[in-house]
Amino acid sequence: MLIPKPMPDEVFKGFLTRICILNRVYSMRQLLIYLSPRKTRPLPFTKNTFSALRILSDKTNLDLMQLVCSHTLIPYIQVFSVTKHEWDFSNPRWLNTLSIVGTRPILSHARYCPECVDEDLGFWGYTYWRRSHQLPGIEWCLKHQTCLITVPKIYFSKLPPSSTELLSPPNKYKYAHHPVIEKYAQISIGLLDSRSSFIMNKIGMRLGDAARKSGFMVSPKGKKKLLSDLALESIPFDWLVNLFPEFATKTPNMYLNYFDSVCQSRRSQMSTKVFALAAALLYPNADEGLYQLTH
pLDDT of residue 279 exceeding 80: yes
Residue 2: half-sphere exposure toward Cβ, Cα within 13 Å: 11
Report the sign of the C-alpha dihedral through residues 150, 156, 158, 159, in that order.
positive
Task: Check residue 94 and give its pLDDT.
Answer: 66
Question: What does the pLDDT average to over 183-202?
Answer: 93
pLDDT of residue 270 exceeding 90: no
Three-class DSSP category at 164: coil
Task: Check residue 44 and give its pLDDT.
Answer: 47
Q: What is the mean pLDDT of the chain?
A: 87
Task: Check residue 183 and give its pLDDT.
Answer: 98
Of the pLDDT bands very low, low, confident and very high (cuts 50, 70, 90), residue 93 is low
Beta strand spans in 10-125 (E)? 80-81, 85-86, 109-112
Q: Calculate Rg over the CA atoms of the chain.
A: 20
Q: Which residue has the higher pLDDT, 166 or 231?
A: 231
Measure the CA–CA gap between 4 and 230, rounded to whole angstroms: 47
Task: Check residue 47 and give its pLDDT.
Answer: 45
Beta strand spans in 161-207 (E)? 196-199
Of the pLDDT bands very low, low, confident and very high (cuts 50, 70, 90), residue 230 is very high
